Amino acid sequence: MPALSRSRERCASTQGRRVTMLYTHAINRWDGSGATVDAATRTAQLEGGGLLRLPQLPFAFNDAERALLTPAVLEPGKKNISYDLARDRLAGVAGDAALQSLMHGMIRRYAQQSGALVEAMFPHYRGQLRDGRTSFRPAEIEGRVTSPKKDDTRLHIDAFPATPVQGQRLLRVFTNVNPNGRPRHWRTGEPFETVAKRYGRQFDPAPALQRKLMQMLKITKSYRTVYDDLMLRTHDAMKLDPVYQKSVAAEHIHFAPGETWIVFTDSVSHAAHSGQFLMEQTFYLPADAMLDPAQSPLRILERLRGQPLLN
């Protein structure tokens, strides 16, 4: 595969079923420089359920920031450090004011660079993206003890119990910043429509009154639509189905230190099997702001169920 050209990789599958498409790009700067593929093609790859790999795009820590590359920076009981760019608010850091300041500068820079990258790579989304949380994950994921629904080593699509998205897409940027040469090991699964046909049509959503009460009681941060309810039920059903986890068509991917990747995690099923020291940035995108809204989970579920789902 030429180092500076696009490659289209068909992932391995089981029993002939297609799984995730991988697209490698030669972008080597956070302003999008180095691209050899036009923006419309990149956007179509992303919206079509692809995972875009940028193996030449590391996130640089300066000499002082290398002191942050230890799980000791985590508050007890936390699995990651989070940052809200809109509010300039950092959470989950254990340490004195100097360490807090160092962490703040590093994670804020990642948030800003990720935003610049996504706008450069996908100009169709400019003015439509909303910043979500930024996270730094210094803990090893392999061997973590947690409940099945919170176990991200199990294949799943992203849906959050307390944070309804009301049809918006979840676009995420990841970078492996491991200083010890260890890859981030992911497993990706079958296309969203296949998942939706398996799980998304079998559930009856919770009554509207129940979902409204959850908002009033602040169990959820906003109103949980039928779409949010179905996505969360699908997320849980995938994780709680041991037969599915063992038998579904899947591809194992190892992201090297210094590699960045971009994916819609609400449609590309994924699991993180192992790895330590990861940067991540979430963006929210209205489904109708996509180049092809018909490929959004919202429109796919509405088509399969024959009804609108934002009520």
Sequential DSSP letters for the chain = --TTS-EEEEPP-STT----EEEE----STT-TT--S-HHHHHHHHHTTEEEEETT------TGGGGG-SGGGBPTT-S-EEEETTTTEEESB-S-HHHHHHHHHHHHHHHHHHHHHHHHH-GGGTTT-EEEEEEEE-S--TT----GGG-TTS-B----SS---TT-EEEEEEEE--TTSPPEEEEE-S-HHHHIIIIITSPPPPPHHHHHHHHHTTSSSS---HHHHHHHHHHHHHHT-HHHHHHS--EEEEEPTT-EEEEETTTS-EEEEE---EEEEEEEE-GGGSSSGGGSHHHHHHHHHTS----
Each residue of 60-102: pLDDT tens digit?
Answer: 999 999 999 999 999 999 999 999 999 999 999 999 999 999 9
Range name among 18-32, 41-55, 146-160 with the lowest pLDDT average: 18-32
Question: pLDDT band for position 34 (50/70/90)?
Answer: confident
Residue 98's pLDDT is what?
96
Question: pLDDT band for position 35 (50/70/90)?
Answer: confident
Residue 17's pLDDT is what?
46
Residue 14's pLDDT is what?
36
pLDDT at 49 over 90: yes
Residue 7's pLDDT is what?
42
Residue 291's pLDDT is what?
98
- Reported pTM: 0.93
Residue 129's pLDDT is what?
98
pLDDT at 12 over 50: no
Rounded to the nearest integer, the mean pLDDT of the chain is: 93
Region 115-130: mean pLDDT is 98
Question: pLDDT band for position 10 (50/70/90)?
Answer: very low
289-308 as b/e, with b when 16 or more CB fall inside 10 Å?
Answer: bbeeeebbbbbbbbeebeee
Question: pLDDT band for position 105 (50/70/90)?
Answer: very high
Each residue of 134-159: pLDDT tens digit?
Answer: 999 999 999 998 999 999 999 999 99
- CATH code of the domain occupying 7-304: 2.60.120
Residue 36's pLDDT is what?
86
Query: pLDDT above 90 covers what percent of the chain?
Result: 89
